[in-house]
Amino acid sequence: MLRVEDLSHFFRKGKEVVPILHDINLEIGQGEMVALLGISGSGKSTLLNLMAGFMKPEKGKIYIGDQDIVRMNENRLAEYRRKHIGFIFQSYELIPNLTIRENVELPLVFHTLSESRRKKKSLLLLEQVDLADKAEMYPSQLSGGQQQRVSIARSLISEPSIIFADEPTGNLDTQTEEEILAILQRLNMEMKTTFVIVTHEAEVAGEMGRIITLKNGSLNHT
Ligand SMILES: Nc1ncnc2c1ncn2[C@@H]1O[C@H](COP(=O)(O)OP(=O)(O)OP(=O)(O)O)[C@@H](O)[C@H]1O
């Protein structure tokens, strides 16, 4: 499903080259739920952003299915990302002046689905995260945990084969964190969606099917 081959990345700071990731090799199967664990600064977000196609690595290949996303041009990559990749952010990233339902529908903006089918689909997903009754409210009227549930519904609307989540429970209290993780686990079981979840918390990682540890930009598979 996802294969990373000999991936290395660095940032430039003036004339200085700051290495971030070294020779990463990694394979994740369809339907797996994987934690990417590491301390702050170990390179987790950089690796996630590379795998989600938000930026290009200095070296290496990233296959999602049989497509190397590193070699895609920007237009194709944007389209590919829209159709096949979902993303959940720590800070939810909802649009404040759109309703909850409109936020969930947003990834379908370039889609050919009719308005009524979009509405039906978004309401169905809001039901899945137990928020159907909040569909016509606005993000500011919801708690942090509820906003994250909206962003989970939004990440699923284009039926992506893989969802990347960067510290999805980072802004939430422990009880809400457990609720969100339970929802992700249920969706993983029911929809067979592949999840890659970045966390610096061993307890969160322990809830996933597999843990990959990143240390100083290199991987430890456990
Ligand atoms: N755009 C950038 N330019 C230069 N350096 C960067 C850039 N983005 C990240 N870095 C550096 O790369 C290293 C890894 O950052 P990254 O955000 O991937 O780590 P992380 O493990 O996700 O950390 P955290 O848990 O704190 O988010 C850090 O030292 C960071 O300062």
- φ, ψ of residue 126 in degrees (nearest 5): -65, -35
Query: Block means of pLDDT (10 residues each) for the chain, length 222 residues?
Result: 95 91 95 95 94 94 93 92 91 95 90 86 94 96 95 93 94 92 92 94 93 90 58
140: which 2 tokens?
Answer: 């500011």
ipTM: 0.92
Q: Which fold has domain 31-59+78-221?
A: Rossmann fold (3.40.50)
State the distance from the centre of ligand 1 to the C-alpha of 41, rounded, in angstroms.
5
146/141 Cα distance (integer angstroms)? 10
How do beta strands 2-13 and 16-28 pair? antiparallel
Residues 6+ apart with CB under 8 A from 215: 38, 39, 42
Long-range contacts of 118-122 (CB under 8 A, 24+ apart): 121/157, 122/153, 122/157
Is residue 138 within 8 A of residue 94, CB to CB? The reply is: no
Is residue 7 within 8 A of residue 61, CB to CB? The reply is: yes
55/64 Cα distance (integer angstroms)? 15
Tell me which of 8, 44, 90, 198 to substitute to probe ligand 1's pocket, judged by most ligand atoms within 8 Å of the beta carbon.
44
What is the model's pLDDT at position 83? 87
- φ, ψ of residue 210 in degrees (nearest 5): -150, 145
The helices-and-strands tally (H runs, E runs) of the chain is 7, 10
What is the model's pLDDT at position 222? 55
State the distance from the centre of ligand 1 to the C-alpha of 101, rounded, in angstroms.
33
What is the model's pLDDT at position 221? 60
What is the model's pLDDT at position 8? 96
6: which 2 tokens?
Answer: 């000999």
Quote the DSSP letter at residue 171: T
Residue with tokens 């660095």: 10
58/8 Cα distance (integer angstroms)? 6
Pocket of ligand 1 (CB under 6 A): 11, 18, 20, 38, 40-46, 200
Is residue 87 within 8 A of residue 163, CB to CB? The reply is: yes
198 CA: nearest ligand 1 atom: 22
Q: Helix, strand or coil for residue 45?
A: helix
43 CA: nearest ligand 1 atom: 18
164: which 2 tokens?
Answer: 């990347």
Which residue's alpha carbon is nearest to atom 5 within ligand 1? 11
Distance, CA of 147 to chain centre: 15
